Structure 1
Amino acid sequence: MKGLITDESLTELKAYFKDIQISEEDQHHPFGNSGRVTIFPKTEQEISTVLAYANTNGHSVFIMGGGTKRGFGGMLEKADILLSLAQYTGIVEHNPGDMTITVKAGTSFQEIQTYLARYKQKIPLDPYNPKHATIGGIVSANDSGPKRLGYGSARDNVIGLRMVYPDGTLIRSGGKVVKNVAGYDMNKLFIGAMGTLGVVSQVTVKLRPIAKYESILFVSFPERNVEEIRAFAAKVLDSMIEPISLEILNPSLAGKLTNINQYTLLISFEDVKSSVHYQEDFIKKIIPDKTTLRSLSQNAAKSFWDHFYHQQPNGLINVTTTEAVLKIGVVNLDAIKILQEAELIADACHVSIEAHGGLGTGICYLTIQGATEDILSAIQHLRKSAVKHGGYAVVKHLPFSLRKEINVWGEKTAAHFLFEGIKQKIDTNIILNKNRYVGGI
Structure 2
Amino acid sequence: MPETVKLTTENMKHDLIEMVGPENVAVDRMESEKRYQLQAPLMVFPDEERKVEEILGWACKNHVRVAPQGAGTKDAFGHQGDGPDVILSLKKMSGLLHHSVGDLTVTVLPGTTLRELQQALGKEGQFLPLDPAWGEQSTLGGIIASNASGPRRAMYGSARDYLIASRICYPDGTMIRTGAKVVKNVAGYDMNKLFIGSMGTLGVFTELTFKIRPIPVYAGALVIRIPELLKLRKLQGILLDSQLEPSAVEWVNGRLGKDILGQAVAGPMLLVSFEDVERSVRFQMNWLAHTCDSLGVAVQMEISGQEETQIVLSRLREHLPNSNDISDDKLVVSVKLLSMIAEVPAVYEVLQNSADEKGLLLDFHGGLYTGISRATIRADWVQQSKVFEWLHTVNSFLGQLNGRSVIEVAPRDIKMNLNVWGPEAEDWNLMIGIKNKIDPKRILNPGRFVGGI
TM over 0.5: yes
1:76 paired with 2:88, answer no
Provide the residue aligned with 2:175 in structure 1: 170
Quick one: which of 234, 239, 262 aligns to 1:236?
239
Q: Give the Cα separation in 1 of the matches to 2:445 and 2:163.
A: 22
Quick one: which of 439, 443, 448 aligns to 1:427?
439
TM value normalised by structure 2: 0.94
Task: Tell me if the contact between 2:82 and 2:446 (Cα under 8 Å) persists in the aligned partners.
Answer: no
1:283 paired with 2:288, answer yes
Task: Tell me if the contact between 1:5 and 1:36 (Cα under 8 Å) persists in the aligned partners.
Answer: no
Provide the residue aligned with 1:5 in structure 2: 8
Provide the residue aligned with 1:106 in structure 2: 111
After superposing the two structures, state which structure 1 stretch, 261-270 or 7-16, moved more: 7-16
1:400 paired with 2:412, answer yes
1:311 paired with 2:319, answer yes
Quick one: which of 250, 254, 272 aligns to 2:253?
250
Provide the residue aligned with 1:208 in structure 2: 213
After superposing the two structures, state which structure 1 stretch, 71-80 or 359-368, moved more: 71-80
Q: CA deviation at 1:202?
A: 1.2
Q: CA deviation at 1:3?
A: 2.7
Q: Give the Cα separation in 1 of the matches to 2:106 and 2:19.
A: 34
Task: Tell me if the contact between 2:53 and 2:175 (Cα under 8 Å) persists in the aligned partners.
Answer: yes
Task: Tell me if the contact between 1:157 and 1:206 (Cα under 8 Å) persists in the aligned partners.
Answer: yes
After superposing the two structures, state which structure 1 stretch, 34-43 or 1-10, moved more: 1-10
Task: Tell me if the contact between 1:106 and 1:135 (Cα under 8 Å) persists in the aligned partners.
Answer: yes
Q: Give the Cα separation in 2 of the matches to 1:26 and 1:360.
A: 47
Task: Tell me if the contact between 1:255 and 1:262 (Cα under 8 Å) persists in the aligned partners.
Answer: no
Q: Map of 1:259-270 to 2, 5 A cutoff?
A: 259-270=264-275
Q: CA deviation at 1:284?
A: 1.1
Provide the residue aligned with 1:321 in structure 2: 330
Quick one: which of 45, 49, 61 aligns to 1:44?
49
TM value normalised by structure 1: 0.96
Quick one: which of 74, 99, 102 aligns to 1:94?
99
Task: Tell me if the contact between 2:20 and 2:46 (Cα under 8 Å) persists in the aligned partners.
Answer: no
Q: Give the Cα separation in 1 of the matches to 2:427 and 2:315.
A: 39
Runs (5+) with no aligned partner, structure 1: none
Q: CA deviation at 1:78?
A: 3.5
Q: Give the Cα separation in 2 of the matches to 1:190 and 1:47.
A: 17
Q: Give the Cα separation in 1 of the matches to 2:386 and 2:97.
A: 47
Distance 1:9 1:116, change over 3 A: closer
Percentage identity across paired residues of the two chains: 34
Question: Structure 1, residues 151-190: CA drift from partner, whole Å, max 9, x if none?
Answer: 1000111111211000011111111111011101111110
Q: Give the Cα separation in 1 of the matches to 2:368 and 2:319.
A: 21
Question: Structure 1, residues 89-147: CA drift from partner, whole Å, max 9, x if none?
Answer: 00111111010111111111111001111000000111111111111111111111111
Task: Tell me if the contact between 1:34 and 1:62 (Cα under 8 Å) persists in the aligned partners.
Answer: no
Task: Tell me if the contact between 1:20 and 1:39 (Cα under 8 Å) persists in the aligned partners.
Answer: no
Task: Tell me if the contact between 1:147 and 1:245 (Cα under 8 Å) persists in the aligned partners.
Answer: yes
User: SS at the partner of 1:411?
Assistant: coil
Quick one: which of 21, 24, 35 aligns to 2:24?
21
Q: CA deviation at 1:435?
A: 0.9
Q: CA deviation at 1:382?
A: 0.5
Q: Give the Cα separation in 2 of the matches to 1:18 and 1:256.
A: 46
Letter in 2 for 1:293: Q
Question: Structure 1, residues 47-83: CA drift from partner, whole Å, max 9, x if none?
Answer: 1111000000110001110100001013237411100
1:219 paired with 2:224, answer yes
Letter in 1 for 2:348: L
Q: CA deviation at 1:9?
A: 4.0
Task: Tell me if the contact between 2:244 and 2:284 (Cα under 8 Å) persists in the aligned partners.
Answer: yes
Distance 1:290 1:183, change over 3 A: closer
Q: Map of 1:154-169 to 2, 5 A cutoff?
A: 154-169=159-174
1:354 paired with 2:363, answer yes
Provide the residue aligned with 1:387 in structure 2: 399
Question: Structure 1, residues 400-428: CA drift from partner, whole Å, max 9, x if none?
Answer: 11111211101111222111110000001
Task: Tell me if the contact between 1:195 and 1:433 (Cα under 8 Å) persists in the aligned partners.
Answer: yes
After superposing the two structures, state which structure 1 stretch, 261-270 or 344-353, moved more: 344-353
Letter in 2 for 1:296: I
1:61 paired with 2:73, answer no
Letter in 1 for 2:109: K
After superposing the two structures, state which structure 1 stretch, 290-299 or 340-349, moved more: 290-299
Q: Give the Cα separation in 1 of the matches to 2:248 and 2:412.
A: 33
Q: Give the Cα separation in 1 of the matches to 2:91 and 2:107.
A: 17
Runs (5+) with no aligned partner, structure 2: none
